[in-house]
């Protein structure tokens, strides 16, 4: 949750929620597993979603076009893809000659495994595994993807919200090359999801309270239980965020609606899916699905909890970006075109 209005209240809300979780979680964990290890419920009787989870996978969001109608990889195809991923992770350690210091593989936290069911995309609906963009949506997505690293630098607002160390979007659904772990904690009234990337925290009420209808950076979420499935409905996204390098489904748009479903499968697995709806961007709703797991070794990712992501506090690099743009305009430097 990000709220620029009333920042003290926003910080206090998160602190109280996470503080109360710390005490309740201990009680919840003691009741989360029965004598046979199969209960997986909190002390107050709902499914226990708590833990540090990862959704890392080399399976892409959209089905690559070369796969056509192929929905599932063969075992041999999956093994080949995983082999290439492991090789890349082990060999691309040093920056290329002349590289000014961008990330290389030693800094990344990639997966080297496809989904357990070997699907060719995280998207399960539509059946073609592709985002069903409207013409307007496709144009916006193309513009967003091509804008990153180029375009005007007249003001700090010309840099995307990730470059400005604000946010890259909602933690889950969210994929990046690093900081892929998510901490989920619960109280009887809330479910909180923390992603260390930008230190984004979602505090989701599950006690039936009404919406405030105040636009927020990551929308306003409300959760409820349908049997053993936690359903989270999010709307009221503020029209503030932009991610030049990402496809536009990650952008914060007031017309966007998202429904997520969390279901505890076993001691090491959460079944997770989300459905996106935005009539201006998509011709229909679309759904992606993938497991979250605590068994990180099996997924080929680095073991460990969340680690601090400071994102160069204060982001002094923005000053230099703008200085560089002014120097470029004056013909004193090379680089991407200002327009």
> Which residues in the chain show pLDDT less than 50?
1-32, 34-37, 244-249, 336-339
CA distance 49 to 187: 11
297-312 tens-digit pLDDT: 555 555 567 777 777 6
Q: What is the pLDDT of residue 295?
A: 60
Domain boundaries, the chain: 14-93+101-329
Give pTM, 2 decimals: 0.79
pLDDT of residue 80: 94
Question: How far is it, in rounded angstroms, from Cα 68 to Cα 90?
Answer: 30
pLDDT at residue number 184: 94
């Amino acid at each position: 949750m990000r709220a620029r209005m009333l920042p003290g209240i926003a910080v206090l809300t998160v602190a109280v929620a996470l503080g109360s979780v710390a005490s309740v979680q201990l009680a919840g964990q003691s009741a989360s597993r029965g004598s046979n290890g199969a209960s997986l419920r909190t002390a107050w009787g709902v499914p226990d979603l708590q833990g540090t989870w990862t959704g890392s996978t080399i399976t892409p969001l959209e089905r690559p076009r070369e796969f056509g109608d192929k929905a599932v990889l063969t075992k041999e195809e999956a093994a080949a893809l995983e082999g290439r991923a492991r090789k890349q992770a082990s060999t691309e350690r040093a920056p290329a000659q002349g590289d000014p210091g961008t990330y290389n593989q030693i800094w990344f936290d990639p997966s080297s495994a496809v989904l357990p069911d070997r699907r060719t995309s995280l998207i399960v609906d539509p059946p073609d595994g592709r985002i069903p963009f409207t013409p307007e949506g496709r144009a916006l997505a193309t513009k967003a993807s091509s804008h990153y690293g180029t375009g005007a630098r007249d003001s700090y607002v010309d840099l995307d919200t990730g470059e400005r160390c604000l946010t890259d979007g909602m933690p889950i659904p969210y994929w990046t090359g690093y900081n892929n772990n998510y901490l989920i904690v619960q109280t009887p009234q809330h479910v909180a999801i923390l992603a260390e990337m930008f230190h984004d925290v979602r505090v989701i009420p599950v006690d039936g309270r009404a919406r405030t209808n105040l636009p927020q950076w990551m929308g306003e979420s409300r959760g409820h239980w349908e049997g053993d499935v936690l359903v989270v409905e999010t709307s009221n996204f503020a029209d503030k965020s932009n991610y030049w390098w990402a496809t536009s489904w990650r952008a914060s748009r007031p017309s966007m609606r998202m429904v997520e479903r969390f279901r505890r499968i076993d001691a090491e697995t959460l079944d997770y899916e989300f459905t996106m709806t935005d009539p201006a961007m998509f011709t229909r709703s679309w759904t992606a699905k993938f497991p979250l797991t605590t068994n990180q070794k099996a997924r080929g990712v680095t073991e460990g909890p969340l680690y601090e992501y400071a994102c160069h506090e204060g982001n002094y690099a923005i000053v230099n970006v703008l200085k560089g743009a002014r120097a470029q305009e004056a013909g004193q430097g090379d680089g991407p075109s200002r327009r």
